[in-house]
Chain A
Amino acid sequence: MKQLVKHRMMKTAALVILGAAMAGGSAVAADKWDGGDDLPTSPLACDAGPATAAAAKPYDGGQPTGAPDKAGKPITLVDVPKLIGIGYFNATSKGMQDAAKEIGNVKVTTDGPTEAKIDEQIKFIDNYITRGVDGILFAANDPVAITPVLKKALSKGIDVVGYDANSQPDARQWFINQAQFNGIAKAMVDAMAKEVGEDKGFAIVTSTFTTPNQARWIAEMSAYAAKCHPKLKWLETVEAQEDNVLSFNQATTLINKYGDKLSGLFGMTSVATPASAEAVTKAGLCGKLAVVGLATPNAMKPYVNAGCVKSVVLWNPVDLGYAATYVMRAVVDGKLKPGATSVDAGKLGKLNVINGSEILLGSPFIFTKDNIKDFDF
């Protein structure tokens, strides 16, 4: 008899625990979106473009020693990306060639490792220093490991400008920053509000709550939405790591859980976005459930071409290479000096200097049905 009572008590306890877990889970207040970090946010203005009037930071880049004055003279540049032969860096390389053709007195060659390996990349740069070039453009495989060889280039009077992936600031003169967290956040939230309407519910599929870039983007999105789209209703953030099938399963679960209450999904990684689009496709909700996310064009082409996804947010790598070449020419010509606040970059117009020695490419690029076919990465 005693045993029976004990058994019953344990059963009750188990139910209470389960109930408490359920209640506790649902009672979490949602003043900030899950998956964002706790760092301060700086949401952009609701209507303005990419203008960033952040507190000016003094120039912290490096300077070449004894660089000969080549203002207005023809220069030869080498571009050493993380690796060659992939669509992304083919696109940056194309941008550089476009700019070189426009400017006229610039010659750029792209050369680099076939795998994204830092030791290989250092060898390539070292070889070009020995061979002699006027300037080096790079996208670093490792911000720290690449620093010595870039400093060596500076010490030989070679101009150094980075793009896509930075080195330590004093190892190069300038770095072209493709996108800031608050810029991406604004582009994402604006696209979502435009697609689903101002008062609809959405959910987020991210890698993990602690992945630095994703956490930063989500925090900035949360702040920007509170400021500019206050009626948009955040429902939930789920984790899917960088796992294709898990992302698909999580997105599917969200769709099944919320039904009509869910009008949009944000994909925070280049894995989560196509997987979310696939989940929406399989659920037969194309056109009814929007997917907005960060992704590369090739993975998104099937969904964009099918009309299931309207906005893929990223930056334009062709513009990135184009800007890097214009910046290098401006440095050589003495038009871009430490302390400058902007630089002229051909068809891209004036680009702003941020964070001391970085140049912001501009607003993120939105791939749509009309332009996605022009990209192959």
Chain B
Amino acid sequence: MSTIVVSRLRPGEGGALRLFASQEALLAFAIVGIAILVGLYNPRFLATRNLGDIVLGNAYIAVAAIGMSMVIVSGNIDISVGSLIGVLATISGSLAVAGVPIILVWLTPLMVGILVMMLQGAVIAYLRIPAIVVTLGMLSILKGGLISVTGGRWITDLPQSFHLADIELFGILPMPVLIMVAATILAALWMRYSASGRAIFATGGNAEAARLCGVSPRRTVVMVFALHGLFAGIAALLFATQLKVIQSTVPPNLELTVITAAVVGGVSILGGVGTVVGSTLAAVLIAEIASALVFINVSPYWIHAVQGGLILVTVVADILRRQRRQVGE
């Protein structure tokens, strides 16, 4: 009996079951399950306002996690993204206060994000320096640079037109959620169906094999980082335009939250596997848990433990899955 159970859970047998056991489905179940459990304890949790607020306030993390997922799938990592988002938010806010036309205010962080990340991608790909080293360096440069240039001064007095995150399409669809959903769907389709999207998986899975198949791993890494920079720029815009003050400091531990979302979303830290639908769902799940802890009166200290637990469970599950697959082969 036990053998039957095990073999049923083995991936690759039966489409319905595989779908059932996919990371995205698990995350979706977790999101709904927690909502129901906490809702039973405190029905106010299920109020549409609260569920909407959870997504709204954390959409920027999901957007940043899309780029992070691509980077990790390509076999790299980036720990500078939190600092970059802080810098881009400050750049955008400074331009807005200086009275620069709003379209430039919104586009500049995207361009700067792409440039900074492309530079890092090029150093990683062509100088063969490990991503963790390059991005750690960039983290320090951006973090220190931001404090030196701004002196920690906040940006206030932002013009009303600056607040992209306050726009509601047709009066009901808030921009951050719209951008999050659209970016996730577009990125997911692109990664799955386009040749350059598949190249990311090939590069992260086995760079040598990818090269033999006509994929340039170096160019792919630079492209992935450029895209990551674009998503970091969008995330920075949502982050900066959400409130009426920009802090001019690097948001604490933001890169860890973004990496957590990617990893819990099912992106393998070993590269080659992962989806951005998973990372977006994971970002929502993490935000939901943070809110749920307040609703069930658990000390907020636990959010870090919960995040850490989620990472460990996902990573262990990923490794086990791989081993089982190897045994199966």
Contact = CB atoms under 8 A, between A and B. Distances in A.
Contacts of B152: 116
B310 to A, nearest CB: 16
B53 interface: yes
Nearest to A278: B243
Interface in A264-280: 271, 274-275, 278
Contacts of B295: 253, 257
B297 A248 contact: no
A1 B5 CA distance: 12
B228 to A, nearest CB: 20
A86 B5 contact: no
B148 A256 contact: no
A241 B252 contact: yes
B252 A243 contact: yes
B58 interface: yes
Interface in A235-249: 236, 238-239, 241-245, 248-249
Interface residues of B, number: 43
Given A28-B297, A244-B247, A253-B294, A86 B242 contact: no
Chain A binding surface SS class: helix
Nearest to A249: B57
Nearest to B53: A252
B141 interface: no
Interface in B255-299: 287, 290-291, 294-299
A199 interface: no
B34 to A, nearest CB: 10
Contacts of A271: 247
A301 B2 contact: no
A85 B298 CA distance: 44
Nearest to B60: A245
B296 A86 contact: no
B239 A256 contact: no
A248 B44 contact: no
Contacts, number: 106
Interface string B307-318: 000000000000
A40 interface: no
A243 B86 CA distance: 12
Interface in B15-51: 37, 41-42, 44-45, 47, 49-50
A302 interface: yes
Nearest to B156: A298
B1 interface: yes
A254 interface: yes
A127 interface: no
B247 A238 contact: no
A119 interface: no
A299 interface: yes
B130 interface: no
B294 A245 contact: no
B263 to A, nearest CB: 20
Contact of B297 (A26, A250, A299): A26
A102 interface: no
A223 B157 CA distance: 37
A256 B50 contact: yes
A66 B60 CA distance: 63
A210 to B, nearest CB: 10
Contact of B151 (A115, A238, A274): A115
A245 B254 CA distance: 11
A26 B244 contact: no
Contacts of B5: 3
Contacts of A249: 53, 57-58, 287, 290-291
A126 B152 CA distance: 26
A238 B252 contact: no
B209 to A, nearest CB: 40
Contacts of A18: 37
A68 interface: no
19 contacts: A3-B5, A21-B298, A25-B299, A28-B297, A86-B153, A116-B152, A236-B297, A244-B245, A244-B247, A245-B57, A245-B242, A245-B243, A250-B294, A256-B45, A256-B49, A256-B53, A274-B244, A298-B154, A299-B245
Interface of B: 1-2, 5, 37, 41-42, 44-45, 47, 49-50, 53, 57-58, 60, 148, 151-154, 156-157, 239, 242-247, 249, 251-252, 287, 290-291, 294-301
Interface of A: 1, 3, 18, 21-22, 25-26, 28, 83, 85-86, 114-116, 209, 236, 238-239, 241-245, 248-250, 252-254, 256-259, 271, 274-275, 278, 283, 298-299, 301-303
Q: What 9 A-B pairs have minimum CB-CB distances, sorted nearest first?
A: A25-B297, A256-B50, A249-B57, A298-B156, A25-B298, A253-B294, A26-B297, A239-B300, A299-B245
Given A249-B58, A298-B156, A301-B157, 14 more contacts: A21-B296, A25-B296, A25-B298, A243-B251, A245-B242, A248-B57, A249-B287, A252-B53, A253-B53, A256-B291, A275-B243, A283-B49, A298-B157, A301-B156
